[in-house]
C-alpha cells in the first residue's frame, strides 16, 4: 500500500508494464529503455515482474522443441492480463 503514495520521476508502473516485454526483448528505443531501467532500479514490484517475465522467456528459449504458436499466444495473453490485474484472486468455480 505504501507504493501507492510514493511518487517517482519518469515512467509510472503502468507505463513500465506496458513496455516491459519489449524492453526485455531489446525492442524499444534507448531513451525509453533508460527510463524503464531507472524505474526498475527504484521499484521492487516492477523489478520482480521483470524477473518473472525474464525467467519465462529464458525457460521457453531453452526448450529444444518449438512452442506451439497458440500456446505462446495464450501465455502472452495471460501475462498481459496478469500485469493488468485482470486475473481474479480466486477460482470462480469455488464460489
Tens digit of pLDDT per residue, the chain (95 long)? 344 444 457 899 999 999 999 999 899 999 999 999 999 999 999 999 999 998 988 888 887 777 789 999 998 999 888 888 887 665 555 54
User: What is the per-residue pLDDT for 95?
Assistant: 47
User: What is the per-residue pLDDT for 60?
Assistant: 82
Residue 14 inside a domain? The answer is no
Residue 52 inside a domain? The answer is yes
Residue 62 inside a domain? The answer is yes
Residue 37 inside a domain? The answer is yes
Residue 75 inside a domain? The answer is yes
* Nearest one of 43, 40, 42, 48 to 23, comparing CA atoms: 40
Residue 6 inside a domain? The answer is no
Domain range spanning residue 59? Answer: 30-84
User: What is the per-residue pLDDT for 66?
Assistant: 76
User: What is the per-residue pLDDT for 91?
Assistant: 55
Q: Half-sphere exposure of 44 toward its Cβ, with a 13 Å CA cutoff?
A: 5
Number of structural domains found in the chain? 1
Residue 93 inside a domain? The answer is no
Residue 4 inside a domain? The answer is no
Amino acid at each position: 500500500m505504501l507504493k501507492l503514495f510514493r511518487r517517482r520521476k519518469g515512467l509510472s508502473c503502468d507505463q513500465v508494464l506496458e513496455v516491459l516485454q519489449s524492453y526485455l526483448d531489446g525492442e524499444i528505443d534507448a531513451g525509453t529503455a533508460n527510463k524503464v531501467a531507472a524505474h526498475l532500479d527504484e521499484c521492487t514490484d516492477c523489478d520482480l515482474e521483470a524477473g518473472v517475465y525474464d525467467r519465462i522467456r529464458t525457460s521457453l528459449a531453452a526448450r529444444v522443441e518449438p512452442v506451439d504458436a497458440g500456446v505462446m499466444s495464450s501465455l502472452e495473453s495471460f501475462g498481459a492480463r496478469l500485469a493488468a490485474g485482470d486475473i481474479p484472486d480466486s477460482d470462480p468455480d469455488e464460489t
